[in-house]
């Protein structure tokens, strides 16, 4: 192993020794992962982080939700606009985001990162119905999509220069960032994300999804969810690359993944229609 690879591996190993989350963040993560928490209790816990409250209120007042009056109270935002499950999901993403400063990676576009994460999450949640009904709750499906690329945040924080080179190279030759990360660093961003979620004791479902996302032989209970996320990932990639969405290609992928195509064209149209609104959400989350 050359010196460069040794340095990279040492940096990646640091992920296992990251300091514990601040107590406030831990309490927020415990709250958003409690399926039985009351809205008032959740609002009280989230209010311990003024920055998080400010972002949630910004989301509640964004064009995505089309409010005619200004919302200035978190409980009102949860009750009347965002809803309990969406607040949990967005809080989860925001709390994790603020732990990693990716500004040293000049080519890392935080808004793009959250745009892709949100598109994947929304697509997965909408697809997880009808004949694709899963044993997991809509919130779990959404969160799985939201956390799918969390390993990229880790790389932007731990290895900013190395990731910057990879992102520049992929932009120049339009190659796959995930493949290049694996080739150059010897680890997939999915695996790094899994290490992070293990470290911070997030739900085993999310850990399993990341740990086995590229494992074709995996046949556990999470396999249908992984297949749904693969389809959602393809949809988000097409939308972000400004390609004309090829529904025939997506339907062929559905067949390969043993997923139903029921409602697929309508879901794709809905995502296209809401793309700008989702981008505004991404902008607020990535601040």
Predicted model pTM = 0.86
pLDDT digit string, tens, across residues 231-249: 999 999 999 886 678 899 9
Q: Which two tokens stand for residue 220?
A: 């556990």
C-alpha span between 134 and 232 (Å, rounded): 15
Q: Which two tokens stand for residue 67?
A: 């409010």
Question: What are the residues whose beta carbons fall under 8 Å from the beta carbon of 275, sequence distance 6 or more?
Answer: 119, 239
More confident residue, 284 or 187: 187
The full set of domains in the chain, from first to last, is 20-99 (no CATH), 102-287 (1.10.3210.10)
C-alpha span between 24 and 28 (Å, rounded): 6
pLDDT digit string, tens, across residues 22-81: 788 888 888 888 888 888 999 999 999 888 888 888 888 877 777 778 888 899 888 888
Q: How far is CA 237 from CA 113, 121, 175, 177, in A?
A: 12, 13, 13, 12
Q: Is the predicted pLDDT of residue 220 greater than 50, yes or no?
A: yes
| pLDDT at residue 174, as a whole number | 87
Q: Could you tell me what percent of the chain has a pLDDT over 90?
A: 40
The radius of gyration computed from the CA coordinates of the chain, to the nearest angstrom, equals: 19
Q: Is the predicted pLDDT of residue 18 greater than 80, yes or no?
A: no
Q: Which two tokens stand for residue 157?
A: 């924080």
């Amino acid at each position: 192993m050359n010196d460069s690879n040794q340095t990279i591996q040492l940096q990646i190993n640091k992920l296992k020794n990251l300091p514990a989350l601040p107590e406030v963040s831990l309490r927020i993560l415990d709250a958003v992962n409690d399926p039985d928490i009351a809205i008032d209790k959740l609002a009280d816990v989230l209010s311990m982080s003024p920055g998080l409250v400010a972002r949630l209120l910004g989301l509640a007042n964004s064009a995505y939700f089309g409010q005619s009056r200004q919302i200035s109270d978190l409980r009102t935002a949860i009750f009347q606009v965002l809803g309990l499950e969406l607040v949990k999901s967005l809080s989860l993403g925001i709390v994790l985001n603020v732990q990693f400063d990716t500004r040293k990676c000049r080519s890392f576009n935080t808004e793009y990162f959250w745009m892709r994460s949100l598109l994947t999450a929304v697509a997965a949640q909408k697809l997880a119905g009808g004949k694709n009904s899963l044993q997991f709750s809509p919130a779990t499906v959404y969160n799985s999509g939201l956390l799918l690329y969390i390993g990229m945040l880790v790389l932007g924080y731990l290895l900013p220069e190395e990731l910057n080179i990879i992102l520049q190279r992929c932009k120049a030759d339009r190659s796959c960032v995930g493949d290049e990360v694996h080739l150059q660093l010897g680890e997939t961003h999915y695996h790094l994300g899994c290490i992070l979620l293990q470290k911070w004791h997030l739900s085993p479902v999310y850990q399993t999804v990341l740990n086995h996302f590229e494992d074709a032989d995996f046949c556990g209970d999470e396999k249908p969810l992984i297949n749904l996320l693969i389809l959602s990932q393809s949809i988000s990639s097409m939308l972000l690359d400004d390609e004309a969405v090829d529904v025939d290609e997506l339907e062929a992928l559905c067949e390969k993944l043993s997923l139903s195509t029921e409602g697929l064209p309508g879901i794709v149209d809905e995502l296209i229609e809401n793309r700008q609104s989702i981008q505004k959400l991404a902008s607020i989350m990535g601040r």
